[in-house]
A = this chain, B = another copy of it.
Amino acid sequence: MNSKGRLYGVGVGPGDPELLTLKALRLIRSASVIAYQSAIDRESIARKIVSPYLPGNQIEVLYHLPRALEPEKAQAIYDKEVEPIGEHLAAGRDVVVLCEGDPFFYGSFMYIFTRLSDQYQTEVVPGISSLMACPVSLGVPFTYYNDILTVLPATLPTEMLTAQLLATDAAAIMKLGRHFVKVRDILHQLGLASRAKYIERATTTQQRILPLDEVDPEQVPYFSMIVIPTKQRL
């Protein structure tokens, strides 16, 4: 009898195909099925990153996990989107899920992991996160020695963002999109605007680095970050 397939959650890094790990490359090339997320009618970013390495004879499964939903409301949608992956695993096919950045770090893979890892042998491969890639692309040492680092989704309310920024040595603010103006204003209020660095689509061919006050708030993509590096200079 055929045994069950194995589930792999594989981090593919921030955008540059050369920032794939050797392990990710090996698993991606050898899987029967690759699965990846995409917004409807858009090319999958994760698939684009690995496209130079695909052997061309794999089954591909596309899923959609809408981002803006409140987590509680999304359960039914997520259950349904994960079904085709479960079917391939049940049929004995290994499935590699391509994950932008790192699978367990604000990644969509976790919605698949929580639904399938009890039933199928699962292996996760860490990837280069935007949290590491953005400071490197900006050329700013991020955290030294005994610094506190705080990662903040821009979706948080103003008071919470302010309190967190006041209590930390270094910060990364993610998921900027339509929250950019709120964040920029807080940074000015706290005297952090001159230290803050803005970057979008780090390590891709569309990477852009802009001074905070030159960013057009109407044009801030989801894949953007504000990095506030440590003040320490050693």
The answer to whether A143 touches B105 (Cβ under 8 A) is: yes
What chain B residues lie within 8 Å of A233 (beta carbons)? Answer: 114
Which chain B residue shows the least CB distance to A72?
A: B234
Question: In the complex, what distance in Å separates the CA atom of A234 from the CA atom of B115?
Answer: 9
Which chain B residue shows the least CB distance to A124?
A: B136
Interface SS, A side: mixed
The answer to whether B148 touches A153 (Cβ under 8 A) is: yes
The answer to whether B22 touches A20 (Cβ under 8 A) is: yes
Q: In angstroms, how far is the closest chain B Cβ from the Cβ of A106? A: 5
The answer to whether B136 touches A104 (Cβ under 8 A) is: yes
The answer to whether A21 touches B128 (Cβ under 8 A) is: yes
Question: In the complex, what distance in Å separates the CA atom of A135 from the CA atom of B152?
Answer: 18
The answer to whether A143 touches B132 (Cβ under 8 A) is: no
Question: In the complex, what distance in Å separates the CA atom of A109 from the CA atom of B175?
Answer: 29
Question: In the complex, what distance in Å separates the CA atom of A132 from the CA atom of B103?
Answer: 9
A39-88 residues with Cβ-Cβ distance < 8 A to B are 71, 74-75, 78
The answer to whether A145 touches B136 (Cβ under 8 A) is: no
The answer to whether B153 touches A146 (Cβ under 8 A) is: yes
Question: In the complex, what distance in Å separates the CA atom of A169 from the CA atom of B104?
Answer: 14
What chain B residues lie within 8 Å of A150 (beta carbons)? Answer: 148-151, 168
